[in-house]
Amino acid sequence: MKKFMFAAVLLAASVSSANFCAKWQTKEPYNKAINTLAAHRNEGVAQLCSHAGLLDVYVAPTHYIKNVGEDAIVVPLTRVELIYSEWICQYFVQDDNQTLYKSNCYSTF
């Protein structure tokens, strides 16, 4: 029983100190979006990527269509998802100027 408790505490400690952004740091557009999000939330990247309760960070390219008169312009975005056990928060960062386009959080239940 003591071995089990020790293993559980050790596992919990390793998960809480994990840097879930490490896998995205070599991909420049993704790394820029993570840095932009950290600045928007007034925290460092290390803090953003290792919050207590954070299970993973997912980053992917996406876009939105902006109507300008009769023309449609594709605006590239990078989606950063902070995945927790009970909710997910999505942040959409514009690739060209590194501003937060929109964000939302929702329950996973």
Q: Whose structure tokens read 């050790």?
A: 10
**Residue 42 domain flag:** yes
User: Domain total for the chain?
Assistant: 1
pLDDT at site 108: 85
With 0.75 as the threshold, say if the pTM is over it. Answer: yes
Any idea which residue has 């029983």 for tokens?
A: 1
How many whole angstroms separate alpha carbon 51 and alpha carbon 35? 15
3-state percent breakdown (helix, strand, coil) of the chain, nearest 5: 30, 40, 25
- What is the domain extent for residue 40? 19-107
Report yes or no on 90 lying in a domain: yes
Q: Alpha-carbon distance 5 to 46, whole Å?
A: 28
Q: Is residue 14 included in any domain, yes or no?
A: no
Q: Residue 6 — pLDDT band, cuts 50, 70, 90?
A: very low
Asked whether the beta carbons of 72 and 65 are under 8 A apart, the reply is: yes
What is the tens place of the pLDDT at every residue in 12-62?
A: 444 445 789 999 988 889 999 999 999 999 999 999 999 889 999 999 999
Is residue 33 in a domain?
yes
Could you tell me the pLDDT band of residue 5, with boundaries at 50, 70 and 90? very low
DSSP 67-80: EETTEEEEEEEEEE
In a domain, 95, yes or no: yes
What pLDDT shows up at residue 17? 55
Domain membership of residue 8 (yes or no) is no
CATH of the domain at 93: 3.10.450
Per the document, the length of the chain is 109
In-domain check, residue 7: no
- Residue 60 is assigned to a structural domain of this protein: yes
HSE of 19, CA atoms in CB hemisphere, 13 A: 10
List pLDDT tens digits, range 51-77.
889 999 999 999 999 898 889 999 999
Rounded to whole angstroms, how far apart are CA atoms 56 and 76? 23
